[in-house]
Amino acid sequence: MTRPDSDKRRVQMMDIARLAGVSASTVSRALNGSALINPETRQRITELARSLNYSINVGAKNLRLGENRTIGVVIPFDRKTRQHVSDPFFLGMLGSLADALTDHGYDLLLSRVDSEHLDDLAGLYDTGRARGIVVIGQWGHHDQLNALAVRQVPFVVWGAQLPRQLYCSVGTDNFSGGRMATEHLLSLGRRHIAFMGDVAFPEAEQRFEGYLQAHRDRGLTPDPALRIVAPFTAAEAQQAMREFLARGVGIDGLFAASDLIAMNAMGVLLAQGLEVPRDVSVVGYDDIEAASHCHPSLTTVRQPIELAGTEMVDCLLRLTAGERPEPRILAATLQVRGSTRAQ
C-alpha cells in the first residue's frame, strides 16, 4: 500500500533526525533556515536531507515565515474504548475551540492519533501543517506528553494538572469537583454512594480522590465494592452498571465521572425498577447540553466548556510566541437538577 505524500515526508524527517542524532523539530528548524540551529548542524542536516531526496513542504515554509494560520486539534483514539469524535463532550470542546480560533483568525485542523503513541502528534507541527496543537485529554500518557514538551513541540492539553508536568494544561479542579458532587449526595442522606469511572485516566482519578475525601470529611469510608470501573462510552457504561447491579450490591447514590456515563447508568437503573432520585440519587460531571434535557434532568458538576477553548487558544498562542504559560485551572460548579431533587 502506497503512503500519502504527507506520511512520506514525516517518515523521512524522522529518518533524518535519527541519522543526525537530533529531534524532528530540530530537523524542521534546520531545513527552514532557523537561526536557532548552528551552521554546522544545519549543513549536516541539509546534506542528509538531500541524500534522502527530502523536499521541504510549503506548510513548513509558511510556519518559518509566521504565515501559518492553522491550529491542529487532536482527539486521541483509544483502541480499547473506541470513544468516538461524536461523543457530546468532544463536540462541545470542538465548538468552543472553533469559536476561539475564529476570533483569532485561525483555522482548525482536526486529527486523531493513537493514544498509545501520542508522540505521533508532533508530525502535525514538524511537517508544517499546524502552527501549534491542542490535545483533548492526557489518556494516561503523561510521560509521552512531557517528552514532547522537551522536544519543544508547541502544544496545550485539556486535562488534569499533574506532578512534574512540563507542558501547559487547561482544565477544571477535578478533585474539588469530585468532592463537591459527593458532598451533595451525602448532604441528601445518601450513605451507599457508588463511584463510576475509570481511574486509569488522570481526570477520573482526581474526581475519585475527591469522592474519597468527601467521605473522609464526614468520618466515613466507602465500601470498595461500590467502585464501578467504566470507560467514557455509552455501551460499556450500561454493561458495567448491569453487571454491578447483578452482584446485588445496594446503592442509594451514584457519582459518575462523566455525564455520558451517568445518563447511561440512569437508563439501566430505571430499567431495573429503581427510580431516580427516589431510590438512587445521581450526579454526573461535565454538564453537556443533553444533561439538562434528559429525564430526570441530570445534576452535574459543570465544566465551563465555552471558556475552555478561549483559555487553551490563548495559552497556545502565547507558547508559539515564545512565552511559557502556566497551567490554568478553571472553576467547576454544581448544577442541581432532577436526578437529586426530592420529588
Q: Is the pTM of this model over 0.85?
A: no
Domain 174-303 class, CATH top level = alpha beta
Helix (H, G, I), strand (E, B) or coil at 155: strand
Span of 56-65, 139-148, 328-337 with lowest mean pLDDT: 56-65
Phi, psi of 236 (to 5 degrees): -70, -35
Rounded distance, CA 273 to CA 269, Å? 7
Give the residue range(s) of CATH 1.10.260.40 domains in the chain.
1-56
Span of 32-41, 51-60, 130-139 with lowest mean pLDDT: 51-60
Task: Say if CB 196 and CB 208 are below 8 A apart.
Answer: no
Q: What pLDDT score does 129 carry?
A: 87
Q: In this prediction, what percent of the chain has a pLDDT beyond 90?
A: 63
Phi, psi of 283 (to 5 degrees): -125, 135
Taking only the tens place, the pLDDT of each residue in 252-293 is 999 999 999 999 999 999 999 999 999 999 999 999 999 999
Q: Which comes out higher in pLDDT, residue 78 or 68?
A: 68
| CATH code for residues 1-56 | 1.10.260.40
- The average confidence (pLDDT) of the chain is 88
Q: What pLDDT score does 42 carry?
A: 82
Give the residue range(s) of CATH 3.40.50.2300 domains in the chain.
174-303
Q: What pLDDT score does 203 carry?
A: 94
Partnered with residue 114 across adjacent β-strands are 77
List of residues 6+ apart from 248 with CB closer than 8 A: none
Q: What pLDDT score does 149 carry?
A: 92
